[in-house]
């Protein structure tokens, strides 16, 4: 019975994804450990360490269905690790060949390498969704190049921008995340094989050959030396997932704010009943964005757990290592779920360009104060232009008139700018600067990367 809601049959639909759970569930983990045992036997047979027929028997027996889960659980409870029971069950299923199982390996070799195999699958799923989200946001950026809206700083209208640039800005960190993921893989996708204390002494002078052969068989990299107590790559991987979730949370935050009744500029995709309230029929809550926030908080809370687990004592940790399985699977499951929510929003979000125009007009032109100031600065200097426009803004606010009208009665302004020029300077569509070029740069980068 799952205890974490992310793994539940019902609540799991909100927090994670079935494909990622399938990578990290207990059955998959034990099968990966069996895969490592089978690969180890095959490599050692090729090197003449164990009989070829023994390796084949071990390979055929290395199936999760051959395990008695109650027996493995009892052994794990007693021993403190599941590998002793797993090896006993595998040896029994392999018959006489079972005496050759787990040759020269130690518990952590099998568990760590199984974890790495899961991480490899997990990163592949994460990459697919990152690229899909990035491409979708780039498509929306192209679509809304000319959709002018209010840019906001400190939750206040600041200057005009375009919704296209906003989408490009959401996509921008995804570019870095794909690059980070590709870089991380070479560090984390390494076999772990060091024997009891990282020396492979039980294999004599064939230890490195076995390690390299095992890496090749599993399509992993061979480390320079065993990394039993060097946990940086796994910690880096979970920290990377925390970064991804941070960027998704920024996206979700903007969607939540833009969906507020008072703004109403963007809404999550509408499906009947989606985001509904049990008492208020009119509600369409930004529910996907809320679950992205929840996932981000949870994943980022797991990052310190992984960083703390790096403090490993001597050649085998006494406790730190056991904290990792509590963090790695959940971090992957929650991140993948958050990515799926974000992709759904990006693909189907409703954009209300008309409402954006209405909101631009709320300040009666004040959002264009910088544009007017820069136009006047040519004649008056920056400082004096700032003072003059600031005075006009104060008058517009106090008297509830437009900035154009306030400027049009200021002698210092009308001496330099006629009304058509003032009206041109206060047109939001004419003050987007390099927004269009930035969209092109982001979209071009995405096209090259993906």
Asked if 186 and 236 count as a contact pair (C-beta separation under 8 A), the reply is no
Indicate if 316 belongs to the active site: yes
In CATH terms, the fold of domain 366-425 is: Ribonucleotide Reductase Protein R1; domain 1 (1.10.40)
Predicted local confidence at residue 449, as pLDDT: 78
Q: Would you state the pLDDT for residue 319?
A: 80
Would you say residue 293 has pLDDT above 60? yes
Would you list the domain boundaries of the chain?
A: 5-136+156-357, 366-425
Q: How confident is the model at residue 9 (pLDDT cuts 50, 70, 90)?
A: confident
Burial of 359 (0-12, 13-18, 19+ CB in 10 A): buried
pTM above 0.85, yes or no: yes
Structure confidence at residue 321 (pLDDT): 84
Q: Which spans in 62-162 are helix H?
A: 69-79, 83-93, 107-143
| Catalytic residue of the set 176, 186, 202, 277 | 277
The CATH class of the 5-136+156-357 domain is mainly alpha
Of 24, 41, 60, the C-alpha closest to 334 is: 24
- Look at 142 and 414; give whichever has higher pLDDT: 142
Mean pLDDT in residue range 179-191: 97
- pLDDT score for 137: 97
pLDDT digits (tens, 9 = 90+) for 388-406: 889 988 988 899 988 888 8
Catalytic, out of 63, 284, 316, 424: 316
Residue 407's pLDDT band, with cuts at 50, 70 and 90, is: confident
pLDDT of residue 275: 54
Catalytic-residue membership of 419: no
CB-based burial label for 206 (10 Å; 0-12, 13-18, 19+) = middle
Asked if 242 and 299 touch (Cβ cutoff 8 Å), the reply is: yes
Mean pLDDT value across residues 147-161: 95
What pLDDT, on a 0 to 100 scale, did the predictor assign at position 403? 87
Quick one: tokens of 420? 């058509």
Distances (CA, A) of 123 to 150, 231, 338, 351: 37, 17, 14, 32
């Amino acid at each position: 019975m799952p205890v974490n809601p992310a793994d539940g049959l019902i609540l799991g639909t909100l927090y994670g994804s079935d494909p990622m759970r399938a990578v990290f569930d207990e059955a998959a983990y034990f099968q990966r450990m069996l895969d490592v045992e089978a690969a180890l036997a095959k490599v050692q047979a090729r090197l003449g360490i164990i009989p070829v027929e023994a390796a084949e028997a071990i390979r055929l027996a290395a199936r999760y269905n051959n395990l008695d889960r109650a027996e493995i659980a009892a052994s794990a409870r007693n021993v403190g690790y599941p590998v002793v029971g797993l090896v006993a069950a595998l040896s029994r299923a392999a018959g006489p060949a079972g005496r050759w199982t787990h040759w020269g390996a130690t518990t952590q070799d099998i568990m760590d390498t199984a974890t790495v195999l899961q991480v490899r699958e997990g990163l592949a799923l994460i990459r697919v969704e990152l690229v899909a989200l990035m491409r979708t946001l780039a498509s929306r950026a192209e679509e809304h190049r000319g959709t002018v809206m209010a840019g906001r700083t400190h939750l206040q209208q600041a200057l005009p921008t375009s919704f296209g640039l906003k989408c490009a800005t959401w996509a921008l960190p995804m570019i870095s995340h794909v690059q980070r993921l590709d870089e991380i893989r070479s560090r984390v996708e390494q076999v772990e094989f060091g024997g009891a204390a990282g020396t492979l002494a039980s294999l004599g002078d064939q230890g490195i050959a076995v390690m390299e052969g095992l890496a090749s068989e599993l399509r992993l990299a061979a480390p320079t030396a065993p990394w039993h107590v060097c946990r940086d790559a796994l910690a880096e991987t979970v920290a990377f997932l925390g970064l991804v979730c941070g960027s998704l949370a920024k996206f979700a935050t903007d969607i939540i704010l833009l969906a507020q009744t008072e703004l109403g500029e963007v809404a999550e995709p509408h499906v009947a009943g989606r985001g509904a309230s049990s008492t208020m029929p009119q509600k369409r809550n930004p529910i996907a964005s809320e679950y992205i926030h929840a996932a981000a908080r949870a994943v980022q809370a797991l990052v310190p757990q992984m960083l703390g687990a790096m403090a490993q004592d001597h050649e085998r940790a006494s406790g730190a290592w056991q904290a990792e399985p509590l963090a790695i699977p959940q971090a992957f499951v929650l991140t993948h779920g958050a990515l799926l929510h974000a992709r759904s929003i990006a693909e189907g979000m409703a954009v209300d360009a008309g409402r954006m125009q209405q909101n631009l007009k709320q300040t009666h032109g004040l959002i264009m104060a910088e544009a007017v100031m820069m136009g006047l600065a040519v004649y008056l200097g920056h400082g004096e232009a700032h003072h003059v426009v600031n005075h006009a803004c104060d008058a517009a606010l106090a008297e509830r008139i437009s900035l154009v009208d306030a400027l049009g009665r200021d002698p210092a302004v009308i001496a330099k700018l006629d009304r058509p020029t003032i009206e041109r300077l206060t047109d939001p569509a004419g003050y987007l600067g390099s927004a269009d070029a930035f969209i092109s740069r982001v979209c071009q980068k995405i096209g090259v990367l993906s």
